[in-house]
Amino acid sequence: MFEAVPSPFLVPFDGSFRVAAAPTSPLQKSDKDGAKKSLRKRIKRMRSLQDMLYAQNEWSVLLVFQAMDAAGKDGTIKAVMSGINPAGCQVHSFKKPSENELDHDFLWRTSIRLPQRGMIGIFNRSYYEEVLVVRVHPAILEGQRLPFVPEDGSIWEQRLESIADHELHLARNGMVVLKFWLNVSKEEQRNRFLARIEEPEKNWKFHAADVAERHHWDEYMAAYEAALNASSRSWAPWYAIPADDKPYMRAAVADVIDRSLESLGLAYPAVSAEERAELVAWGEKLEARDEARGT
């Protein structure tokens, strides 16, 4: 079973993670050129590792991205996965559940989109929304058609337990689950919202509802802290990535993915001596046919 690779951003497995102590800025002086160079290097390595992942067809990889608005989820996914073969990668964004999705349990809509063996799946938001935005806005539960909701508030602990069990099941069956919380500061989020207003090419990104959610910042931070502590495990780790510096953030995410893939011991399928001899024979036949046809 997969084991988390070490990182200064790895959320501990003992419930000791505190949002207030998690950095939102680089751990060292920002070096944008160095971060971009590191990202390019990691992308090149990931491209080779993905080819072996696909050919070996044993492991699957799920990358989960969660963050406050304007933290950079879309841009990070685009930048980090830019060198990946799209034939071996699937991206799913999860917004407000549809009527059909509400007719199932809260894990159903993401479960049917899990990556198959040999593939990399990316969730832009995920089942964690059910213990984040729904926890901050519990009135949403009224539209989820649940036959009962515990009056003692234990539904959040129950859902987190279901998520942890779900991820353990995935890990036991050969899925690498890597989860990234892009940790942006409230001040940096404000600056990015202002940029969306002031720069015409970014106007389409601005939504008044995103600004309204800033009033619930502390509640969201408490929800994130509870979720990360309840579900960061060696087989399904969370990484709290500083998100105020985008090049640094993207390089840090790529580093974790690259080293995680490398830890799997991926290799192209071996060919037996008999299979190799058969391949040689087929090669000789093809060459003989081409020569006979004068090609």
Question: Side chain identity at 68, as an amino acid letter?
Answer: M
pLDDT tens digits for range 260-277: 999 999 999 988 888 888
pLDDT for res 62: 98
Residue 145 DSSP SS3: coil
What is the mean pLDDT of the segment spanning 60-84? 96
pLDDT for res 179: 98
CA distance 285 to 295: 14
pLDDT for res 223: 98
CA distance 283 to 78: 41
Q: With 90 as the cut, is the pLDDT of residue 156 above it?
A: yes
Q: The dihedral of CA 259, 12, 71, 31: what is its sign?
A: negative
pLDDT band at 290 (very low <50, low <70, confident <90, very high): low
Q: With 70 as the cut, is the pLDDT of residue 292 above it?
A: no
Phi, psi of 291 (to 5 degrees): -65, -40
Compute CA 259 distance to the chain's CA centroid, rounded to the nearest angstrom.
Answer: 15
Q: Which CATH number fits domain 19-292: 3.40.50.300, 2.40.10.10, 2.60.120.10, 2.70.150.10?
A: 3.40.50.300
246-262 and 32-56 are packed helices; what angle lies between their axes, rounded to 10 degrees? 30
Tell me which of 19-28, 188-197, 258-267, 270-279 is least confident. 270-279
Q: The dihedral of CA 23, 180, 154, 215: what is its sign?
A: positive
> What mean pLDDT is reported for the chain?
94
pLDDT tens digits for range 106-121: 999 999 999 999 999 9
Q: Which helix (H) or strand (E) holds 267?
A: none
DSSP state letter for 294: T
What is the mean pLDDT of the segment spanning 165-179? 98
Which residues, in sequence order, are CB contacts of 103 under 8 Å at separation 6+? 145
pLDDT band at 291 (very low <50, low <70, confident <90, very high): low
Q: Where are the domains of the chain?
A: 19-292
